[in-house]
A and B are shown apart, each in its own frame.
Chain A
Amino acid sequence: MRSRNVCVAILAATSVIAIVLLLAGSPIVRANDQPSAPRADVKIDNFSFGPQTITVPVGATVTWTNRDDIPHTSASTEGVFRSKVMDTDEKFSYTFTKAGTYPYYCTIHPKMTGQVVVK
Chain B
Amino acid sequence: MANKKHDLIDQNLQDLNNDGVDRRGFLKCMAWAGTGLVWTMSGGVPVSRAFAKNIGKDAGKGADFSFVQISDSHIGFNKPANPDVTATLQVAINKINAMPDKPDFIIHTGDLSQLSKPSEFDTLDQALKGATAKQIYYVPGEHDMLSDNGEQYLQRYGKATKGSGWYSFDHKGVHFVGLVNVANLKAGGMGSLGHDQLEWLEDDLHGRSASTPIVLFAHIPLWTIYPDWGWGTDDSEQALSYVKRFGSVTVLNGHIHQIMQKVEGKVSFHTAMSTAFPQPAPGSAPSAGPMKVPADQLQQVLGITDVNYVISGRSLAIVDSPLATSGS
A residues with a Cβ closer than 8 A to B are 46-48, 68-71, 77, 84-85, 87-88, 103-105, 107-111, 113
Chain B, residue nearest A107 (CB): B185
- CB pair B147–A85 under 8 Å, yes or no, is yes
Residues of A within 8 A of B146 (CB): 71, 85, 108
Measured CB to CB, the closest approach of chain B to A49, in angstroms, equals 12
| B290 CB–A CB distance under 8 Å | yes
Taking a contact as CB atoms closer than 8 A, the residue among A69, A84, A108, A111 that contacts B229 in the complex is A111
Residue contact A84 to B147, C-beta cutoff 8 Å:
yes
Interface flag for B79 (CB, 8 Å): yes
Contact A47 B79 (CB under 8 A): no
Q: Are B230 and A71 in contact (CB under 8 A)?
A: no
Residues on B with C-beta less than 8 A from A108 are: 142-143, 146, 185
State A103–B187 Cα separation when bound (angstroms). Answer: 9
State how many angstroms separate the Cβ of A65 from the closest Cβ of chain B.
Answer: 16
Which B residues contact A (CB, under 8 angstroms)? 77, 79, 81, 114-116, 142-143, 146-147, 185-190, 227-230, 286-290
Listed from nearest, the 5 A-B pairs whose CB atoms lie closest are: A46-B287, A105-B187, A111-B230, A47-B287, A110-B185
Kindly identify which residue among B77, B115, B190 contacts A85, using a CB–CB cutoff of 8 Å: B115
Is A110 a contact partner of B81 (Cβ separation < 8 A)? no
Please, which residues of chain B bring their CB within 8 A of the CB of A70? 289-290
A65 to B116 alpha-carbon distance, docked (Å) = 20
Q: Which residues of B contact A109 (CB under 8 A)?
A: 142, 230
Q: Kindly report which residue of chain A lies nearest to residue B76, judged by CB atoms.
A: A87
- With a CB–CB cut-off of 8 A, which chain A residues contact B77? 69
A110-B190, A111-B190 as given contacts; A46 in contact with B286, CB under 8 Å = yes
Assembled-state Cα–Cα distance A74/B289 (Å):
18
**What separation, in Å, do the CA atoms of A48 and B147 have in the docked complex?**
20
Shortest Cβ distance from A111 into B: residue = B230
What is the chain B residue whose CB lies nearest that of A76? B187
Q: A68-B289, A88-B79 are in contact. Are A113 and B115 (CB under 8 A)?
A: no
Known A71-B114, A104-B187, A108-B143; 14 more pairs at CB < 8 Å: A69-B79, A69-B290, A70-B289, A77-B187, A85-B116, A85-B146, A108-B146, A110-B185, A110-B187, A110-B190, A110-B230, A111-B227, A111-B228, A113-B187
Q: Which of A46, A108, A111 has the most CB of B within 10 A?
A: A111
A88 to B290, CA, bound (A): 13
A110 touches B189 (CB 8 A): yes
Closest B residue to A105 using CB positions: B187
